Amino acid sequence: MDAIDRKILELVQLDAETPLAVIAERVHLSPTPCWRRIQKLRAAGVIRKQVSLCDPAKLNVGVTVFVSIRTNQHTQAWLEKFARGVKDIPEVVELYRMSGDIDYLLRVVVPDIAGYDAVYKKLIKAADLFDVSSSFAMEQMKYTTALPLNYAE
């Protein structure tokens, strides 16, 4: 990956609808070689897919909750059951297995506390949980889907 590839990625991460001609101009290539580079980045899996980012508030899911989960069961069967259950909860938009004191961290989007309570009830049905701790985000101070490109090789 060279500087041109990184610049292409920077542009498409900011707006995937940027016309090819504009991307090509900004990276100082003609459209055909620029298109080939984009296709190569897709084929290599660097560009996984293009999506539309929606405004959570306009979809009535403007409340973000970070849910920390601890379990006292560390078996593959428990993990598979838990992961399956969580994947079926659309309000859970991110799920991570963690190191340290917390076993799993979830990012949940809901309209309000009652919405989170409904999600909580689904979570405790998904698998036996030892401890669930929820933190409501008061203010989103930074949000981006763009990944840093200075480490790309």
CATH number, domain containing residue 131: 3.30.70.920
Per-residue tokens: 136: 């409501």
What share of the chain in percent tops pLDDT 70?
100
Q: Do both 33 and 78 map to the same domain?
A: no
Q: Say if residue 84 is in the same domain as residue 21.
A: no
Cα 24 from Cα 32, distance rounded (Å):
8
The number of folded domains in the chain is 2
| Within-domain flag for 120 | yes
Q: pTM of the full predicted structure?
A: 0.88
Average pLDDT over residues 131-139: 97
Q: In this structure, what is the dihedral angle of CA atoms 125, 131, 137, 142, given to the nearest 10 degrees?
A: -100
Q: With 90 as the cut, is the pLDDT of residue 153 above it?
A: no
Handedness of CA 23, 29, 30, 32 (dihedral sign): negative
Query: 23 and 68 share a domain?
Result: no
Domain of residue 117 covers 57-136
Q: Tell me the average pLDDT across 18-37.
A: 98
Please name every residue paired with 106 in a beta bridge, in sequence order, or none if there are none: 67, 95
Mean pLDDT score of the chain: 96
Calculate helix-pair angle for 31-43, 3-14, nearest 10 degrees: 80
88-113 average pLDDT score: 97
Q: What residue type is assigned to position 65 of the chain?
A: V
